[in-house]
Amino acid sequence: MSKRWLFLSAAAVLIVVSLALVLLPGHKNGEEVKAEAGSAATEPSAISSSPANSPSPSGTSTASAKATAASKKPSATPSARVTTKPAATPTTKTRQQASGTASLAGRIRPGVTYGGVATFYDADGGGACMYDPSGDVMTGAMNTADYESSKACGAYVLVHAANGATVTVRITNECPGDCAPGQIDLSAQAFAKLAAPSAGRIPITWNLVSPSTSDTISIRYKTGSTRYWCGIQAIGHRNPLARLEVAVGSGWRQLQRADYNYFLSEDGSGCGGALRLTDIYGEQLTVPALAVRANVTQSTQVQFAKH
């Protein structure tokens, strides 16, 4: 047998063996092995990111979940859990609050007890609220923060001293300057029902009340009022007044309240027409049209309900 024949036979055997190895099951070339290794390297990262987007054992979201939530519109009700859609119950509750007491009351709210101190001064029932001086000296001047640009005017508050004594006063004035939030500067007579005048300054707590009364609300147009400009004041309301509106056409227009406790119609809209009063509890009273009589107190037949 020639050497050339032997060489060709050996080459043929090598080719057959190589083909057999390539066709064996499970065999992969170098590129396939490299690609699979790269795919396997990404799997641990994907797995570890899953717990980061899940609630922690305490029920609050992790930092990763908070970052995701920040890019979405927040739900109406704050929650420790991240949700993409607010539950129906919190949304309903928010709507009820928006149309209820919470939206109408100012800093002084029903059912809340406030703490502060009481001082006293020589009061006559008049003051920043622009009420007339009167024989009723169970009054108080509210600190500027809680006076809240006259929202406290006419409110009745029950004041409690540490010794158990109490007194109910009507807010008729503002106590500016050194009066801190929670402080009420009482009339000397009201302070004397809580402590000896020599005490000068005592710790108190106080809360809003809705007293019994047989009086009805009165309306007064400010000095200088005409059909073309007017300021309107309500006097003697049992509960704090939240809104005063005037009849305009077939609807109502809400007037802005000045810090001296008059509701102003700068362009004369509604001056001399019917009025609608709303207290912080949401009750509305309609007062028939009254003539524009500047600085004259005109009585009505309406009063807010007791709470």
pLDDT tens, residue order, the chain (307 aa): 444 544 445 555 454 444 444 444 444 444 433 333 343 333 333 323 333 333 333 333 333 333 333 333 333 333 222 222 333 333 222 222 324 445 799 999 999 999 999 999 999 999 999 999 998 899 999 999 999 999 999 999 999 999 999 999 999 999 998 899 999 999 999 999 999 999 999 999 999 999 999 999 999 999 999 999 999 999 999 999 999 999 999 999 999 999 999 999 999 999 999 999 999 999 999 999 999 999 999 999 999 999 9
| Residues 6+ positions from 164 with CB-CB distance below 8 Å | none
pLDDT for 103: 74
Distance of CA 256 to the CA centre of its chain: 20
pTM of the model: 0.68
Question: What are the Cα distances from residue 149, in Å, to 6, 143, 255, 260?
Answer: 114, 11, 14, 8
- With tokens 């007791």, the residue in question is 306
Closest CA to 200 of 115, 116, 119: 119
- With tokens 């927040």, the residue in question is 74
Closest CA to 173 of 209, 138, 206, 142: 142
Q: Is 94 exposed, middle or buried (0-12, 13-18, 19+ CB in 10 A)?
A: middle
CA dihedral (72, 73, 78, 79) in degrees, to 10, reads: -30
The letter for the amino acid at 60 is T
Closest CA to 121 of 178, 64, 206: 178
